[in-house]
Structures are given as C-alpha cells and as structure tokens.
A and B are shown apart, each in its own frame.
Chain A
Amino acid sequence: MLAQIDVDFRTQIINDYQGVSECKICDKPEYLARIREVAFNFFQKNGFPTQKNEEWKYTPVKPYINEPFDIDKDKSQTFDPSQANYFGQHLPGYKIVLINGKLSVEHSQIPDAALCTIQPVMDVLRKPEVQERLTKSRNYRNNPFLAMNTALFTRGVFIHIPKNTQVDKPIHLIHYEVGEGKQFNISKNIIISESGSEAEIIESYYHDYNDAVSFRNSSTEILVEPNAVLDHIKLQKSDHNLRMVEHTEVEQKEDSLYNNYTFTLPGMRFVRNNLNIELDGSNIESHMYGLYLTNEDQLVDNHTLVNHKEPNCESNQLYKGILTDKSRAVFNGKVYVHSIAQKTNAFQQNNNILFSDNATIYTKPQLEIFADDVKCSHGSTIGQLDDEALFYLRARGLSKTDAQSLLVNAFAFDVTEKLRDEEIKAMLNEEIDQVMSGVIS
C-alpha cells in the first residue's frame, strides 16, 4: 500500500479504501460499513485540512504529510519493544504495548480480567458499548483526520474498566511507531470507565531516531460513567521523525471526574491534540491541564472543546507554553454553555513565555454562554520572563541562569503540581529542568 505525496496520497488512500471496505470488513458488523462510508465520502471530497479551514488556520499540515507513506504496514514481527527506551519507561504500571497501533499481547502486561479488559478493538466491534461509541456523530468538517481515521482504522485497543473497580496500577499504553519505510499509522482506541470505577491511563510514545518518518493518526473515544474517575496523562516526547494527530473524544456522565494532562516536550516535529469533552450530566468535573515546551522547528497545537449540557458542572482548563528557537504553538479553546446548564463553572487560561524572537504562539480562548447564572472566565497571556522578578532574585544572590530556571520552573509548576501521580510529577519537573538548563545557559 504505497502512496504518493498529498493529492496523490489522497488518491492512493481512496484506492486503498476499496480494499478495506470490500474484503477486510466482510465479516464485520453492518454499522461499521455505514460509518466508514460516511467518513470516507467526506475524506474523499475534502481531503486533508488546509489553512482555509478555521480550525487549521495556523497549522499547515502539508509539510508533514508530504511524504510517500506506507499505510499500516507491519513491522511488528521483527520489532522487539523490550530494547526500545521511551519517556516514562521507569513508571510503574501495566505496560500495554501497541506496535503501529496494534496490541501486542505477547509483550504486554495485561491486568487481571477482574480489574479491566484490554483487547484489540477489531475483536469487539459487535459489543453494544463499542458500537455506541463508534456511531456517535462527529464533526468531520473540523477534524478531517478523524474522517480518515474512522474510514480506514484496522487497529486500536479497547479498554474496559468494570463497575466499581479500582485499577491498582496505572494502565500505561506505549505507542511504538515503527516502520521499514515511511509509515502512516491509523488507530482507534476505546476506553470505557464504568460507573464507580477508578483508573489512571498513561500514554507514552516511541519512534527510533534511525527510522524514517512516521505519522500517527490516532483517535480515542472515552466514556466516563456516573461516579467514575479517570486520570488520563499523555507524555508526548519522542523523536523528531514522529508526527501525530491525536483526537480524543470524552463523554462524561453525572458525578464523574475526568482529568486530562497533556505534556508535550521537545522532540516530535508536529503534534496536534484535539480534546473534546461533553459534560452530559450534572455535577461533573473536568480538568484539562496542558504544558508544551517546544524547541527547534516544532509545531504543537492544542485544540479543546468543552460542551456544558447540564447544570452544576465545572470545567477547568490551564494550558501553559514555553517556546524556544523557531518553534510554534497554537492554543484554541472553546467552551459552550447551553442555556439549561445553569450554575456552570467554566475556566480557561492559556499562558505563554517566548524564549526566542523567532518563536510564535497563536492563542484563542473562546467562551459561548447561553445560560445566565454561571461563573466563567477565560484569558491568555504571552510574554517573556519578568525582568523585575529576575533582578529581584539576582539581587538576593542567585545567578542569572539559576534565577531564570527558577522562574521557568515556577511557571511550569502551576501545571505539574496538578498531577496526582507523584512519580510522573517528579519525572516531569526533572525533565523541564534539564531542557531549560540547555536553553538558558
């Protein structure tokens, strides 16, 4: 399945699709053919997003897909994940190995079935809860990569945490993106936290710096049922040759708590995160914390969409960015508060420090409120390190570099301190220290 650049790549995908729809899914449920067709028709007509698309205005994707990619070609037979180091390796947890999106049971530590079920998504397509997730109506106009994902996915993992279960250790998904040549990987993951359950999901990434470019197009559908708690932590640090679009859809029911922490560190050349949360019940809490620390020619884009549909909920977003070199970042956050969603608390904040004259940040915090009894705020800042604060610290005897790194850490600390997982917190603080000491000195 070899593809040529851009338009040709699209044509190639269109040809490939015939293959996917005709042979690979002949034993698959009828609904899948239906959703694939809708998604595929959209993608066939519109292709990859251009900067004319408002949601992709500052994120040109062409330079990152301008390669002859293989789609979902398999190298999992020869690849040995035990020899591959990734960021977050030492963290305790159930290590779930996904090679190009495909679950490797052999290399994974699958938890006891009483704690949680982990299976390839293609094996569970007939489960009603899977069908329910996959048949949700999604906005392809804003998310063309999602249309491609739904049309073509043949990989991904299904994680199911049963009612009132506390998973004793984090479930740590490690995404190995490996290929003989240039690789385009599409995966669809589904996570269901049943009512009263509690779990922590961590995601790490691996790409060998000797390997050719890989592009990861991943989508994750999450359901957090009443009273469930789900912590979701993304540790986005990998090699320059890995590029990715990660689309996350979260639906929360009443009295549930979902915490998303997205850390993007120097490395991957292009990262686009879409995080859409539906608060479909009352007394829901949703927290979204992001920290992006970018260098060289990195482009990191965080798009969030929060939909308050019921009263008495709270959503809270705090995204912070530290940009160096000629890196670019985008933050676009949107919060809708429907007219019946009274007593909503919705906060959204994006703060950025630019460490270089050549770094660029585009930030757009947006609120749309149709209820009249709510507490909402949004804001964004862009600046440099505060000279007054620097002088104050130096006047007390701290060297310029120490003072700078103290201020940078203090800036980032706002986000890392929100982590409930102390080990990840310590690992990140150390990493930030190390990255910034290179920038400052």
Chain B
Amino acid sequence: MLQIKNLHATIDGNQIINGLNLEVKPGEIHAIMGPNGSGKSSLASVLAGREEFEVTDGTVTYKGMDLLDMDPEIRAREGVFLAFQYPVEIPGVSNISFLKTALDEIREHRKQEPLSARDFLNRTREMQKLVQFDSALTNRSLNEGFSGGEKKRNEIFQMAMLDPSLAILDETDSGLDIDALRIVADGVNKLHTPEKAFIIITHYQRLLEYIVPDFVHVLSGGKIVRSGDKSLALELEEKGYDWLREEIATS
C-alpha cells in the first residue's frame, strides 16, 4: 500500500528526514516511536502534504501512485488520513457540515453517490457511538472550546466517518488520560479491517498496550534505526531511548 524509499525532507533548510525507508501493507499496524525531535511528526506531515516541508530526495508510492505529487486534498480523497497532534479550532465552521462537505468530496472522487441526508445522519450516529463522541460536540464549531481529549476523540470520529485506507495517528495519545486513551484505542481497533493500514506515531509505549502493532520502528535522526515486533516497544520502555543511541553509536 505504501512504500517509502530513501526519503529526505527539510523544513526551513533543516534536514529533518534523512533517508527513511518503510513499507506498509494492507491490514498492518505500524508503530513509529522515537525521542523528541527524531522526525516522527515530520514524517506524518510529509505524508499528509504539509507545504512547509520540502522533499529533497526519495520516493513515496501509495497504491501505486506517486503520493508526493498529490495536493493534500487529493491524498485525503485517495484515502490517506492524518489525525493531527494539535487539531485546529475553527470558529464558525460547524463540525457536522464540514464533515458532510469532506465526505461528499471524498465520495465524489471515488465515484460514489453522495450520501443522502438520512444515510449521513445514520452513519454519524453509528460512528459517534463507536468512538463515544458526544453528539452535542458534533453540532458545535469545529474543535472550538473542546478539551484536549475531546479534540483527539473528534479526530478519531472524523477518521471513522471518512473511512480512510491509510490512517496516520500523530501522537493521538499525548495529553489523554487513561480512559480517553482506551476509548481512542478501542475506536481504532473497531475500525481496523484487513484492507486498512495504520501508522501510529507515539512517544510512549502506553498506547500500544491497547493497539497491538505488527511492527515497531524506532526513528532517530530522521531515519529508522531499528525495527521489530511489539516486544521492541517494551524494551524501549524499559531501557529508554538512550540505550538505542548508545547501541547505534557503538555498532
């Protein structure tokens, strides 16, 4: 589904992704961990198409297409979803009408009929329940005055509504208490199908207790320095990132 080869990217002239390789197949859950400043969120931004990042080398192929050649909205319509680390508050834009517009765009791109008002409403109810998102929030302005946890839950709710093939969760667990974390993880597990892939970016192992990854990658200095299964996350939790740095330095 996604092949990243030798990816290099800069922001404001600073090299932030530095020869990164990653392959994600349908149905897989990849966790990307790493210390602060290792390039985790930058990777998410590059994949979603944030314009401040400049790709200087390498390729990203998504479903056989050149992902880097697409505008952010085309990526979204092709099924790439980024759950933001810091979801933006947009006063005056209603959560639900924005979602309807987004879903219409995506369905049109996929040559699907737009959902009828009734089907849309039913889907909204179903997904709200699935991610335990308060229906009162659905009708408010987008993220305006939401608590940190509500914003993150709204990201998962949007993900559920838009039905992406590849979801990238950028530190969705940061700032969540244990209950909210469990709800978010629960939502992801329910949405996970053999066709959908997830990239879960996280600083801590905690989230991975609830979402079991197929692969764990450690990012450092803008590239993957170690890959393994879920036991790698536990090892990191125990020994800290310094352990890896030392190991890399001596190898």
Contact = CB atoms under 8 A, between A and B. Distances in A.
Q: Tell me if chain B binds chain A.
A: yes
Interface of A: 386, 388-389, 391-400, 402-403, 406-407, 409-411, 413-414
B87 interface: yes
B195 interface: no
Contacts of B225: none
Contacts of B175: none
Interface residues of B, number: 29
A406 B73 contact: no
A396 B50 contact: no
B91 A410 contact: yes
Nearest to B105: A397
Interface of B: 48-51, 71-73, 75-77, 82, 84, 87-88, 90-93, 98-99, 101-103, 105-106, 109, 141, 158, 162
Nearest to B101: A398
Contacts of B77: 397
A358 B212 CA distance: 54
Nearest to A417: B92
A396 B158 CA distance: 9
28 contacts: A386-B90, A388-B88, A389-B88, A391-B72, A392-B90, A393-B93, A393-B102, A394-B73, A395-B49, A395-B75, A396-B76, A396-B99, A397-B73, A397-B76, A397-B102, A397-B162, A398-B101, A398-B105, A400-B71, A402-B101, A406-B101, A407-B90, A407-B93, A410-B91, A410-B92, A410-B93, A413-B92, A414-B92
A290 B145 CA distance: 25
A395 B92 contact: no
Contacts of A399: 73, 105
Of all A-B residue pairs in the complex, the 8 with the closest CB atoms, nearest first, are A410-B92, A397-B76, A394-B72, A396-B102, A397-B105, A392-B88, A397-B102, A394-B73
A284 B124 CA distance: 44
Given A400-B71, A411-B92, A395 B48 contact: yes
Nearest to B107: A397
Contacts of A396: 76, 98-99, 102, 158, 162
B141 to A, nearest CB: 8
Nearest to A410: B92
B68 to A, nearest CB: 15
Contacts of A386: 88, 90
Nearest to A388: B88
Residue in A398, A403, A407 whose Cβ sees the most chain B Cβ within 10 Å: A398
Contacts of B162: 396-397
A409 B91 CA distance: 11
A252 to B, nearest CB: 30
Contact of A400 (B73, B76, B103, B109): B73
Contacts of B102: 393, 396-398
Contacts of A406: 93, 98, 101
A342 to B, nearest CB: 31
Contacts of A410: 90-93, 141
A392 B93 CA distance: 12
A411 B48 CA distance: 26
A389 B142 CA distance: 10
A394 B90 CA distance: 13
Given A388-B88, A392-B88, A394-B49, 11 more contacts: A393-B90, A394-B73, A395-B82, A396-B99, A397-B109, A398-B73, A399-B105, A402-B101, A409-B92, A410-B93, A414-B91
A398 B98 CA distance: 9
A395 B103 CA distance: 12
Nearest to B143: A392
Contacts of A402: 101, 105
